[in-house]
C-alpha cells in the first residue's frame, strides 16, 4: 500500500433507519435517517447525502490539484452533486453519481472539460468507484467522457 496521508475515523450506530454517526474529532455529529422519499420522516441526513457532499468536496480538491499542475485558474469552482440509490437486477443496491462542475474562470469549453477529465483521474472517490458505479460528469454544462 502507498504512503497513508490521513485516516478519517467515525463511529456509527443504528444504520440508516435510526442511526447516529460521529467522527472521532467530534466535528461531524449527525443523525442518520431514512429520507421522506423512501418513507422516512427525513429528520436527519442519510448515507447518499453524505456521499454526495464528500464526493463533491473531494472532487473540488482534485480540480485544485490539477489546476495547480497545469497552471490553470480553478479557484471559483462550484459542484452540484447527485447520488442516486439504485436497485440492481440481483435485488441489491448501488449508487449512481452525477457531478455538474462549474468553472466560471475557465472560458474555453474544451479546457474546462479536460480539467474535469484530469480531476476524475486524480480524485480518490473517482478512483475508488471507477468501474463499480455509474459516474456522469459535466464541465460548464458540457459532457465529460472518460
In tens, the pLDDT along 132-145 reads: 999 999 999 999 99
DSSP letters of 8-56? --EEEESTTTEEEEEETTSS-EEEEE--GGGTS---SB-HHHHHHHHHH
Q: What pLDDT does residue 38 have?
A: 94
CB-count burial class (<10 Å; 0-12, 13-18, 19+) for 138: middle
Start-to-end Cα distance in the chain: 26
Q: What is the mean pLDDT of residues 36-45?
A: 94
By the 8 A CB rule, do 31 and 22 touch?
Answer: no
pLDDT (0 to 100) of residue 2: 82
CB-side neighbour CA atoms (13 Å) of 7: 4
Nearest to 102 by CA among 113, 93, 91: 113
Kindly report, residue by residue over 72-105, the tens digit of the pLDDT: 999 899 999 999 999 999 999 999 999 999 999 9
Q: List the domains of the chain with CATH numbers.
A: 1-45 (2.20.25.10), 47-144 (3.30.300.20)
pLDDT of the residue at 1 = 63
Mean pLDDT across the chain, nearest whole number?
96
Amino acid at each position: 500500500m502507498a504512503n497513508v496521508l490521513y485516516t478519517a475515523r467515525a463511529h456509527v450506530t443504528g444504520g440508516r433507519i435510526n442511526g447516529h454517526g460521529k467522527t472521532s474529532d467530534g466535528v461531524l455529529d449527525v443523525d442518520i435517517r431514512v429520507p421522506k422519499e423512501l418513507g422516512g420522516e427525513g429528520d436527519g441526513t442519510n448515507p447518499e447525502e453524505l456521499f454526495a457532499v464528500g464526493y463533491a468536496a473531494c472532487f473540488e480538491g482534485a480540480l485544485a490539484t490539477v489546476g495547480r499542475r497545469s497552471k490553470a485558474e480553478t479557484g471559483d469552482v462550484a459542484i452540484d452533486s447527485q447520488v442516486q440509490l439504485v436497485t440492481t437486477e440481483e435485488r441489491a443496491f448501488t449508487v449512481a453519481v452525477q457531478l455538474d462542475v462549474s468553472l466560471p474562470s475557465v472560458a474555453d469549453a474544451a479546457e474546462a472539460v479536460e480539467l474535469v477529465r484530469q480531476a476524475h483521474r486524480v480524485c480518490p472517490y473517482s478512483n475508488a468507484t471507477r468501474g463499480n458505479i455509474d459516474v456522469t460528469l459535466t464541465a460548464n454544462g458540457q459532457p465529460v467522457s472518460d
